[in-house]
Structure 1
Amino acid sequence: MLRSTGKHSFTKSTVIFSLVCLLGIALTVDVFWATRSSSSSSVYSSIASNWPREESHVVVLPKAANDTDSEETVDDKANRVPQRLLSATFADIPAPELEWEQMPSAPVPRLDGSAVQIKDLLYVFSGYGTLDYVHSHVDIYNFTDNTWSGRLEAPKDMANSHLGVATDGRYVYVVAGQSGPQCRTPPTSNTFVLDTETEKWERFAPLPAPRYAPATQIWKGRLHVMGGSKENRHTPGTDHWSIAVKDGKAIEKEWRNETPVPRGGPHRACVAVGDELYVIGGQEGDFMPKPGSPNYKCSRRNEVVYGDVYMLDSEMKWTVLAPMPKPNSHIECSWFLWNNSIIIMGGTTEKHPVNKRMILVGEVFRFQLDTKQWSVIGRLPYRVKTTLAAFWDGWMYFTSGQRDRGPDNPQPKKVVREMWRTKLKL
């Protein structure tokens, strides 16, 4: 009986002791886990609070489905944040809506074409019809009667796209560029002059070196050519040359070396106003032909789009001014002067940070020459690059270029020939 009672007492004590031990272990594990989670959360919060953030627009996007780390642990997956912060320089900027009116379309669609305006006439040069077909002529639009009223054939050995163009009000200087379709290399150094009164072409002094899409302008009696891409189509050039011109002819025997542009590259606007010459936007790098491709088929390369603005003064010194509201390229003929301002329409900006696709621009920008400040004054009917801009009798016009895929997709798609206008009210 005693043995029986003692055995029962021992068993009960053992059970109680075991339960107490298990409870202690559970409490210890729980405290440890809570401490670990708190520490992990604190570390994450510390790191997240120190992530750099753009002062401009910020967009939150879901983590891409294929954007994973093969060495990710179970704990990493449990604590993974399903979103990330991305710079939104590629996003549309809020802008006033403008009332656009569609005008007669150009005779052909154009990408990477060029244009100059002389009084009430817009001369539209060459460009791609498609990547496999390039134009070799000039179409002329008459703003007085709003019709496409003329066509001129270009010289056979004049480039077809990525031209540098400038006019003195009668003569049009057409400088360098790319001959042929796709991403043909090397560029040309050939230069020509069109007399718009006689509609005759003449050869002009070739550039010291071939260039794609150089910034080109007539300033203080000299034809200035700078930047662009070098012979491989990708490497930015910073060279700056000028030559004195009069009545469509060079009055010097050779080009003169000038102060190099601070940043090289193609697809930028170049504007002369009084004693100042402005170079606006552009990019470093461009598509190149695939190695060994007999047709120079284009191969994607890394491009850096920027919104830099440089001003050259009468002492031939460059000054850095306020940048554009967003990085912008493909705007070499997308500008005009109005009311002491430079107006720029469309272009391309930084590539999308997730899918790396090209992003088109749909804003209309204004640079006030007195304050040297930028503003956004409107929106185009669609986003478009290498559009050709003009201004006549209170109306702002644009034609041609490559437009977006729709309001919700800013990637480039169709090469267009449409002409649009809106009344400019500022």
Structure 2
Amino acid sequence: MEGQNLNTFNATFADIPAPQLEWEEMAEAPVPRLDGAAIQIKDLLYVFAGYGTINYVHSHVDIYNFTDNTWVGKFDMPKEMAHSHLGMATDGRHIYIVTGQYGPQCRGPTTHNFVLDTETKTWHDLPPLPFPRYAPATQLWRGRLHVMGGSKEDRHEPALEHWSLPVKDGKALEKEWRTEIPIPRGGPHRACVIANDKLIVIGGQEGDFMAKPGSPIFKCVRRSEVVYNNVYMLDDGLKWRDLPPMPKPNSHIEFAWKFVNNSIIIVGGTTEKHPVTKKIVLVGEVFQFNLSTMEWSVIGRMPFRMKTTLVGFWNGWLYFTSGQRDKGPNDPSPKKVVGCMWRTKLQL
């Protein structure tokens, strides 16, 4: 049986053959971070929070300038703001920050939401979510901030709830979140993209690490997880539609995407665990979903496999920074948390 499982793994979840991409290493981030968040506005990448180690979380924002290819700034986050598993979206000036985990290890989530004005570097509160969530799919669509799925308060149980809030110029237009149609499949760590005025949710997982019962430090313990390749789109009738699934199950990609030339590009992630060793398997592919043909392809590979990458695109260059990389070319299980920055010229 194990032999059959291993054959299935090798056929389905192993590295997919891909064209060669030429990568160039850039200036390393000021700190290593895992489960951070990032939003690009013009030629600036705002990189938020994340774990430094499992016992230490960052509470600041670093800024990378794609024109100068340098890290150009740093400022603190509000003390009440979550440090990982954030939901995040932008209107091109303001960054809306929703819920997430507060503190290291597997501590609890918060309902506290914020908005950052990137021009003035000032923070303001937003109305709290009805319930706290870990890593919900989040996007600004047709004037409303949409928050979907994620994990529930125990960090493990998938959530299906979907809420929205009207916002404009960094301010909420109402005090309460509106209940919307639930997402077909719950869970955290998925990409959420606005493309051609459609809201698209990609990949993710059901289940996650959770706090060990009675642990004073909320020590993370592994639970069963199911990584999936489902892709859903919210259409004009506000109903969910199935789109072609990813070439392999993929999770930890919430900030690992960019929309380029009518394609969604996704860099790295995690796939189903190894059936024999039960270890987490990191992803090294760069995926393309062409919205003209509705087809997925693998357009290249990263320098190494990595999850929770933070991705940007500027002047034809695809960038990724930060996350947790593999143990080596022959071992896709996770090891070191890094802050490296790499780029490749993208030809689509």
TM-score, length of structure 2 as denominator length: 0.98
Q: Secondary structure at the match of 2:201?
A: strand
Cα distance in structure 2, aligned partners of 1:85 and 1:272: 37
The answer as to 2:192 corresponding to 1:282 is no
Partner of 1:153: 76
* Aligned-residue offset at 1:96: 1.0
Residues 306-348 of structure 1 show CA distances to partners (whole Å, capped at 9, x for unaligned) of 0100000121011001100000000000000101000000000
Cα distance in structure 2, aligned partners of 1:151 and 1:220: 31
Cα distance in structure 2, aligned partners of 1:225 and 1:364: 26
Cα distance in structure 1, aligned partners of 2:6 and 2:182: 40
Cα distance in structure 1, aligned partners of 2:290 and 2:180: 27
The answer as to 2:288 corresponding to 1:383 is no
Cα distance in structure 1, aligned partners of 2:310 and 2:114: 20
* Aligned-residue offset at 1:253: 2.3
Partner of 2:98: 175
Cα distance in structure 2, aligned partners of 1:358 and 1:370: 33
* Aligned-residue offset at 1:274: 3.0
Partner of 2:126: 204
Match of 1:284, as an amino acid? E
Which residue, out of 135, 144, 153, partners 2:67?
144
Contact 1:95 1:376 in 2 (8 A): yes
The answer as to 2:90 corresponding to 1:163 is no
* Structure with max Cα Rg: 1
Match of 1:378, as an amino acid? G
Which residue, out of 158, 166, 169, partners 1:244?
166
Match of 1:323, as an amino acid? P
Which is further off, 138-147 or 271-280? 271-280
Cα distance in structure 1, aligned partners of 2:205 and 2:303: 25
Cα distance in structure 2, aligned partners of 1:402 and 1:102: 16
* Aligned-residue offset at 1:106: 0.4
* Aligned-residue offset at 1:87: 3.2
Residues 194-230 of structure 1 show CA distances to partners (whole Å, capped at 9, x for unaligned) of 0000000111111111000000000011100000000
Q: Secondary structure at the match of 2:111?
A: strand
Contact 1:288 1:300 in 2 (8 A): yes
**Residue correspondence of structure 1 range 13-52 to structure 2 within 5 A:** none
Which residue, out of 331, 339, 343, partners 1:421?
343
**Residue correspondence of structure 1 range 184-333 to structure 2 within 5 A:** 184-185=107-108, 187-333=109-255
* Aligned-residue offset at 1:85: 3.8
Residues 283-314 of structure 1 show CA distances to partners (whole Å, capped at 9, x for unaligned) of 00000111111011111100000010000012
Match of 1:246, as an amino acid? K
Q: Secondary structure at the match of 1:264?
A: coil
Residues 41-75 of structure 1 show CA distances to partners (whole Å, capped at 9, x for unaligned) of xxxxxxxxxx9xxxxxxxxx869xxxxxxxxxxxx
* Aligned-residue offset at 1:84: 6.8
Which residue, out of 354, 361, 365, partners 2:287?
365
Cα distance in structure 1, aligned partners of 2:327 and 2:7: 25
Partner of 2:57: 134
Contact 1:275 1:314 in 2 (8 A): no
Match of 1:106, as an amino acid? A
Cα distance in structure 1, aligned partners of 2:135 and 2:89: 12
Cα distance in structure 1, aligned partners of 2:236 and 2:48: 31
Partner of 1:112: 35
Cα distance in structure 2, aligned partners of 1:271 and 1:166: 10
Cα distance in structure 2, aligned partners of 1:376 and 1:86: 20
Which residue, out of 260, 276, 282, partners 1:354?
276
Contact 2:9 2:274 in 1 (8 A): no
Cα distance in structure 1, aligned partners of 2:178 and 2:26: 43
Cα distance in structure 1, aligned partners of 2:7 and 2:339: 38
Match of 1:133, as an amino acid? Y
Q: Point out where structure 2 has 5 or more consecutive residues left out of the alignment.
A: none
RMSD over equivalenced CA pairs, Å: 1.3
Cα distance in structure 2, aligned partners of 1:86 and 1:372: 26
TM-score, length of structure 1 as denominator length: 0.80
Cα distance in structure 2, aligned partners of 1:369 and 1:125: 29
Cα distance in structure 2, aligned partners of 1:119 and 1:309: 27
Q: Secondary structure at the match of 1:87?
A: helix
Match of 2:175, as an amino acid? K
Residues 341-392 of structure 1 show CA distances to partners (whole Å, capped at 9, x for unaligned) of 0000000000000010000000000001122110000000000000000100
Partner of 1:29: none
Cα distance in structure 2, aligned partners of 1:271 and 1:357: 29
Cα distance in structure 1, aligned partners of 2:332 and 2:53: 20
Partner of 2:22: 99
Q: Secondary structure at the match of 2:67?
A: coil
Cα distance in structure 2, aligned partners of 1:204 and 1:374: 37
* Percent of residue pairs identical: 70
Contact 2:232 2:241 in 1 (8 A): yes
Q: Secondary structure at the match of 1:86?
A: helix
Partner of 1:407: 329
Contact 1:275 1:313 in 2 (8 A): no
- Kindly indicate which of the two structures has a greater share of residues assigned to strand: 2
Match of 2:25, as an amino acid? Q
